[in-house]
Chain A
Amino acid sequence: MNIKVSPDYILQVRGLKKSYGGIKALNGIFFDLRKGEVHALMGENGAGKSTFMKILAGLEKPDSGEIFFEGSPYKPTSVQASLQKGISMIHQELLSVPELTVAQNLFLGKEHTRFGKRWLDENKNRQEAEKWLNKLGIDISPSAKMKSLSVAEMQMVEMAKALSNDAKVIIMDEPTSALSDREADRLFETIRDLQSKGVSIIYISHKMEEIFRIADTITVFRDGRYIESKPADAFDTSSLITAMVGRKLNDIFPDNSAEKGAIIYTVRKLTRKPAFDNITFDLHAGEILGISGLVGAGRTELARVLYGLDRADSGEVWLHGEPLLPDSPQTALKKGIGYVSEDRKTLGLITQLSILKNISLSSIGRYSTYGFVNEKNEKKAVTKLAQQLRIKASSLDQRVETLSGGNQQKVAIAKVLMAKPKVIILDEPTRGIDIGAKIEVYQLIRQLACEGLGVILISSELPEITGLCDRVLVLSQGKQTALLNRSQISPEKIMYHAVPR
């Protein structure tokens, strides 16, 4: 890291510090951003990435340290000031107005007008919007309503908006978290386009694959400190993880030495059109069965039917020899099927309730008599589970919304475990959580299998499937294309069966 300020860099940060109360969120951050590069910022949750981003975007003020923009000192004071300088942030939760059109969103707050400042010139707005969209090669009608767009398209509009604001630096926080692979590809093309126009991108993502694909430079933060910064090709997955976590990781995935038990769960010719058709598999006690496939293969839809959130058209399911096609999650839970949703914030957790109340939600019936909750027993059981899963919180009364993604996921899993299922379906259990927490979740999944549960693991991350699963069911466009044994599992084979033809 060179300490000198140089004009080759659009943005340079020296010794930035920021505390909240007694907690040091940033404790000496250094960062150099070249013109026209894609610069990935990596680190676990709590490493200080978002605080740093917020400071750059003018949402927070640093306690000390210096920022140089195009070689001269710069103090971001407000979002407006940052925008004016040319620093735009594309938020994880996109901030657009769904009922307005693309053009109206693009120029929100800076509309083209005539006859003075208040009379909208919709035609001009549309034409200008089209111009900016074309510049990025985005094929979206400016008069389409924002709500009719996919998440990927909305992001592209946001990028066009940033470009129209004369952005020199665009900050992207987990832009692909809601995108399919194909949509992500389009996003990367747009990023390349921006790059070729001399725009610098600061890119945050947990997905390693993506980072190595798109980034020119990688900077790693850990515990609010700058760790290192190197060209992307000087890193590999394991050295990057080591830098982020701060310790060597010989083995991310636990050994799978579990003994497979008897068949406990049987699915035959299960069909719900058009999502999936004719699915057949068995699940043993102590087994981890992976379900793999591309977006739209019908994985989550299958899980929803098994859990009683949706109905099947036809087919049969048995648990311990007893027919079980649940008509509601209530029945499923009662019979011993648990489901941890891929979407923990909307389907998994009541985020404004406490950890305790979330974990016991599915099973307080067992801790109450005549409807009155026995709070002592409830707390005892929840405490035990929280310790087992190593949920990190100041107390069980802490609200779930204040927890990190990894801890939230553990709460969601704990809730299902508390209902004592025999089969647990985990849908993308590591989505959006950092690598340290991922490893803990992997160990937990293996441990559950060792305790004799049947585990169904749905994941888009191939290394998870290949590293954890005993067998893999591959789906492609709703059809079952393969059921691979341990010895047959490889990324190539899974992809071969997953790609539609």
Chain B
Amino acid sequence: MKNIKFANLGQYGIIIAFVLICMLMAVLHPSFLTLSNMRVILTQVSINTLLAFGVTFVIITGGIDLSLGSVLAVSGIVAALLAHPDSYPLVVPIAAGIGTGLLVGAFNGLVITKSKVPPFIVTLATMTIARGLALIFSKGRPVSNLSDSFNFIGGGQIAGIPFPIIILIITFVACGLLLHKTTWGRYMYAVGGNELAAKASGINVGKVKMLVYTLCGGLAGLAGILLTSRITTGQPNAGIGFELDAIAAAIIGGASTSGGTGTIVGTLFGALIIGVISNGLDLMNVSSYYQLVIKGFIIVSAVVLDSLNKDS
């Protein structure tokens, strides 16, 4: 009985922490709690959240993906190159951008399942490869002059709701269903919890890993389209270090790097906490240098709190 109570506390802990941080920010700065600021925050976190959802799947299976930021960049470049006005219909750059992400993700998955090389090393290499591809495709220069319809993805609104927020909500629901309602989600926990036992239970472990890395790449591709569209330019140097924020969001949200744990709701709130804090610090004119230090400390405290909770 005791164990169950603790588990529940852990699940709600992240939401309680989020609410407390919001209250603190609201007290410190009056314009924090305005509707327009909420919109700003959600739009800002949308990209990191998409990446974080992807890496949550990977982390649950006991892996890691460091290539996210570079995959985002190369996908954004590919999309931008096909998104000039009067060239292709909108669906082409979108499909190509996501497709690029899926492809790089599948490459990660293939190498990881077919070799015994740890995901950390494989995706570290892919990080360099994808960044190189982004620079090659763009010839090292920003890709601008994108169509209005493409720019709508990151900058448009429907009924007053910024389009990135709509994408965020749809992805949240889809990822949540995949992880918590399907056999695939169940298998992810099984593989991360005990790979040997999962295999012996008749689960195709390779397929599960292929799925999570491919999916993670695809979500990075989507995030790349979103970013390119929002800044109306394909930047070959975009997304450097984004993978760390995504991993941080997943871990603050309760995923453990040793695999087997993590939830989509947790990751969403993990990303929101990071977003709210940097937004609040922005409002208070705290220099971005200090923000990095503060963010680091928050990640450490979240992980320490989590491990304390587990020990008790």
Enumerate chain A residues within 8 angstroms of B117, measured Cβ to Cβ: none
- A-chain residues with CB within 8 Å of residue B193 when the two chains form the complex: 350-353
CB <8 Å contact, B204 and A328: yes
Please tell me if A329 contacts chain B, counting CB pairs below 8 Å: yes
Residues of chain B within 8 A of A373, CB atoms compared? 181-183, 186
A361 touches B194 (CB 8 A): no
| Given A339-B200, A402-B3, A419-B202, CB of A352 within 8 Å of CB of B183 | no
Known: A371-B184, A373-B186. A330 touches B204 (CB 8 A): yes
A368 touches B197 (CB 8 A): no
Complex Cα spacing A365 to B260, Å: 20
CA of A357 to CA of B189, assembled, Å:
10
Given contacts A346-B196, A350-B193, A350-B260, contact A361 B184 (CB under 8 A): no
Contact with B along A416-455 (1 / 0, CB 8 A): 0001000000000000000000000000000000000000
Q: Is the CB of B260 within 8 A of A352?
A: yes
Q: Say whether A353 contacts B201, CB under 8 Å.
A: no
Q: Which of B2, B177, B182, B190 contacts A350 (CB 8 A)?
A: B190
Contact call B261/A365, Cβ cutoff below 8 A:
no
Interfacial residues, chain B to chain A (CB-CB below 8 A): 1-4, 177, 181-184, 186, 189-190, 193-194, 196-204, 260-261
Distance, CA A498 to CA B196, complexed state (A): 30
Chain A residues proximal to chain B, CB less than 8 Å: 21, 307, 309, 328-330, 332-334, 339, 341, 346-353, 357, 361-362, 364-365, 368, 371-373, 394, 397-399, 402, 415, 419
5 contacts between A and B (CB under 8 A): A346-B197, A347-B196, A350-B260, A353-B189, A357-B190
Cα distance, A7 to B255, chains bound together (Å): 55
Docked-complex contact B197 and A329, CB < 8 angstroms: no
Q: Do residues B202 and A372 form an inter-chain contact, with CB atoms below 8 A?
A: no
With A and B bound together, what is the CA distance between A346 and B203 in angstroms?
Answer: 15
CB <8 Å contact, A364 and B183: yes
Q: Please give, as numbers and ranges, the residues of chain B lying within 8 Å of A353 by CB-CB distance.
A: 189-190, 193, 260
B2 touches A21 (CB 8 A): yes
Contact indicator B189/A362 (Cβ below 8 Å) = no
Find chain B residues with CB under 8 A from A352 CB. 193, 260-261
Which residue of chain A has its CB nearest to the CB of B178?
A371
Q: Give Cα A385–Cα B291 distance, bound, in whole angstroms.
A: 54
- List residues of chain A with CB within 8 A of the CB of B186: 357, 361, 364, 373
| Bound CA–CA A307/B200 (angstroms) | 9
Instruction: Report how far A373 CA is from B199 CA in the complex, Å.
Output: 20
Q: Select B182's contact among A334, A372, A399, beta carbons within 8 Å.
A: A372
The docked-state distance in angstroms from the alpha carbon of A397 to that of B7 is 11
Whether B182 and A368, one on each chain, are in contact in the complex, defined by CB atoms closer than 8 angstroms, is yes
A323 and B190 CA atoms in complex are apart in Å by 30
By the criterion CB–CB under 8 Å, are A349 and B197 in contact?
Answer: yes
Most chain A beta-carbon contacts within 10 A, residue among B3, B181, B183, B204: B183
A399 contacts across to B, CB distance below 8 A: 3
- Alpha-carbon gap, A415 to B203, bound state (A): 13
- Nearest CB of A to B161, in Å: 28
Given known contacts A346-B196, A350-B190, A398-B4, what 4 new A-B pairs fall within 8 Å (CB)? A329-B201, A334-B202, A341-B200, A373-B181
A346 touches B202 (CB 8 A): no
CB-defined contacts of A372 to chain B, threshold 8 Å: 177, 181-182
Query: Hey, which chain B residues are within 8 Å of A329, CB to CB?
Result: 199-202
Q: Among the listed B1, B194, B201, B261, which residue makes an inter-chain contact with A362, where contact means beta carbons less than 8 Å apart?
A: B201
Measured in the bound complex, the distance between the Cα atoms of B196 and A339 in whole Å is 13
Measured CA separation A498–B194 after assembly (Å): 34
Task: Kindly provide the distance from the CB of B270 to the nearest chain A CB, expressed in whole angstroms.
Answer: 20
5 nearest A-B pairs in the assembled complex, by CB-CB distance? A350-B193, A333-B202, A371-B182, A330-B202, A329-B202
A20 to chain B, nearest CB (A): 9
By CB atoms of chain B within 10 A, which of A329, A330, A347, A361 has the most? A361
CB distance from A382 to the nearest CB of B (A): 13
Closest to A395 in B: B4
| A346/B204 in contact, CB under 8 A | no
What separation, in Å, do the CA atoms of A16 and B95 have in the docked complex?
71
Instruction: Give the distance to chain B from A433, nearest Cβ to Cβ, in Å.
Output: 18
Q: Which residue of B lies closest to A416 (CB)?
A: B201
Contacts of A398 in B (CB 8 A): 3-4
Give the nearest-CB partner of A350 in chain B.
B193
In the bound complex, how far is the Cα of B198 from the Cα of A329, in angstroms? 10
Which residue from chain B places its CB closest to the CB of A394 in the assembled complex? B1
CB neighbours (8 Å) of A309 from chain B are 199-200
If A350-B194, A352-B260, A399-B3 touch, does A415 touch B201 (CB 8 Å cutoff)? Answer: yes
- Say how far A336's CB is from chain B's closest CB, in angstroms: 12
Which of B182, B197, B260 makes the CB contact (< 8 A) with A348?
A: B197
Query: Contacts of B204 on A, CB cut-off 8 Å?
Result: 328, 330
Contact across chains for B189 and A348 when beta carbons are under 8 A apart: no
Most buried by B among A339, A353, A357, A399: A353
Residues of B within 8 A of A333 (CB): 202
With A353-B189, A353-B193, A402-B3 in contact, do A348 and B184 touch (Cβ < 8 Å)? Answer: no
B277 to chain A, nearest CB (A): 30
Beta-carbon nearest neighbor of B2 in chain A: A21
Report the bound CA distance from A397 to B202 in whole Å.
Answer: 22
- B200 contact set on A, CB distance < 8 A: 307, 309, 329, 339, 341, 347-348
Please determine whether A332 and B1 come into contact, CB atoms closer than 8 angstroms: no
Give the residue of B177, B183, B189, B196 whose beta carbon is less than 8 angstroms from that of A365: B183
Contact, CB under 8 Å: A330 / B203: yes
Residue of B1, B4, B177, B203 with highest tally of chain A CB at under 10 A: B203
Give the Cβ gap from B148 to chain A, nearest Cβ, in Å.
37
Report yes or no: B183 in contact with A371, Cβ–Cβ below 8 A: yes
Residue of A349, A397, A402 with most chain B CB atoms under a 10 A cut-off: A349
B residues within 8 A CB of A346? Answer: 194, 196-197
Contacting residues, chain B, for A368 (C-beta < 8 A): 182-183
Query: What chain A residues lie within 8 Å of B194 (beta carbons)?
Result: 346, 349-351
For B3, list chain A residues within 8 Å (CB): 398-399, 402
**Distance of A308 from chain B, by nearest CB (Å):** 9
A341 to B199, CA, bound (A): 12
Of the candidates B181, B197, B260, the one whose C-beta lies within 8 Å of that of A347 is B197
Contacting residues, chain B, for A397 (C-beta < 8 A): 4
Docked CA distance A368–B3 (Å): 29
Output the least CB separation between B5 and chain A (Å).
12
**What residues on A are CB-neighbors of B4 within 8 Å?**
397-398
Contacts of A357 in B (CB 8 A): 186, 189-190
**Min CB gap B85→A, angstroms:** 40
CA–CA, A339 to B202, complex, Å?
10
B299 to chain A, nearest CB (A): 23
Which residues of B are found within 8 Å of A341, using beta-carbon distances?
A: 200
Min CB–CB distance A90 → chain B (angstroms): 24
Instruction: Write out the residue numbers on chain A whose beta carbons fall within 8 Å of the beta carbon of B260.
Output: 350, 352-353
Shortest beta-carbon distance, A428 to chain B, in Å? Answer: 15
| Smallest CB separation, B210 vs chain A (Å) | 15
User: Chain B contacts of A334 at CB under 8 A?
Assistant: 202
**In the complex, what distance in Å separates the CA atom of A208 from the CA atom of B74?**
66
Q: Do A350 and B189 touch across chains, with their CB atoms under 8 A apart?
A: yes
Residues of B near A419 (CB, < 8 A) are 202
Looking at the assembled complex, report how far the CB atom of A98 sits from the nearest CB atom of chain B, in whole angstroms. 18
CB nearest neighbor in A for B259: A352
A372 CA to B261 CA, complexed, in Å: 20
Which residues of A sit under 8 angstroms from B177, Cβ to Cβ?
372
In the assembled complex, the CB of A56 is this many whole angstroms from the nearest CB of chain B, namely: 23
